[in-house]
Amino acid sequence: MRRRTRAAPCPALADPTDWCHEDRPVTLPPRTAELSRLTHLRDGGLKFSYLVLRRDPRPLADEPLAWRVVGPPRALKGKVEVPACSDAGRIPLRLLRRHRSDANRELERADRGELLIVDAAPGDQRVEVELATAVVRRDPAKPA
């Protein structure tokens, strides 16, 4: 008999008003772009939500320190923060500018939806990416 394991719940489910969505860049056809301009709707991104149901309780990635990027990197004074989600929850990955190195440069290049394998354990409020912290960026749709 195969032992069933239960996957960690999505951190967005902790708040009933919270939800995840995807935002993909799109170039609208001319007539649709004109309609968007007239109605003052955004025309630079296609937003949608999705639901994935499966029986297999596999984790996000085989690596234990994998994070899914859930928003664009934000450049703040002296640091870059990337909102990310994993079984540990949804918390920012933070890189101070003075800690930039070739090992962690992929953090700043991350796009929404990608996986980051970060060689650092999460703290209470964030993951601190240090000078020697290795960060590997991966497209989740492509095998490792």
Q: Are 115 and 107 in contact (CB under 8 A)?
A: no
Kindly report the average pLDDT of the chain as a whole number. Answer: 81
Q: Which two tokens stand for residue 106?
A: 């992929």
For the segment 32-42, what is each residue's pLDDT rounded down to a tens digit?
A: 888 888 888 76
Structural domains for the chain? 16-53 (no CATH), 66-138 (2.40.50.140)
Q: What is the pLDDT of residues 109-123, one digit of tens each?
A: 998 888 999 998 888
Radius of gyration of the chain, Cα coordinates, nearest whole angstrom: 18
CB neighbours (10 Å) of residue 102? 7
Please state, in angstroms and rounded to a whole number, the distance separating the CA atoms of residues 123 and 121. 7
Q: Is the pLDDT score of 59 beyond 70?
A: no
**pTM here?**
0.70
Greatest alpha-carbon span in the chain: 61
Q: Name the residue with higher pLDDT: 46 or 109.
A: 109
Lowest mean pLDDT among 24-33, 90-99, 134-143: 134-143
State how far the alpha carbon of 123 is from the alpha carbons of 35, 41, 92, 127, 135, in Å.
47, 39, 10, 6, 17
Residue with tokens 């990635």: 61
Q: Which of the pair, 5 or 104, is modelled with greater confidence?
A: 104
CA 130 – CA 13 distance, rounded (Å): 30
Name the pLDDT band for 8 (thresholds 50, 70, 90): low
Q: Looking at 11-20, 61-70, 82-91, which range is the least confident one?
A: 11-20
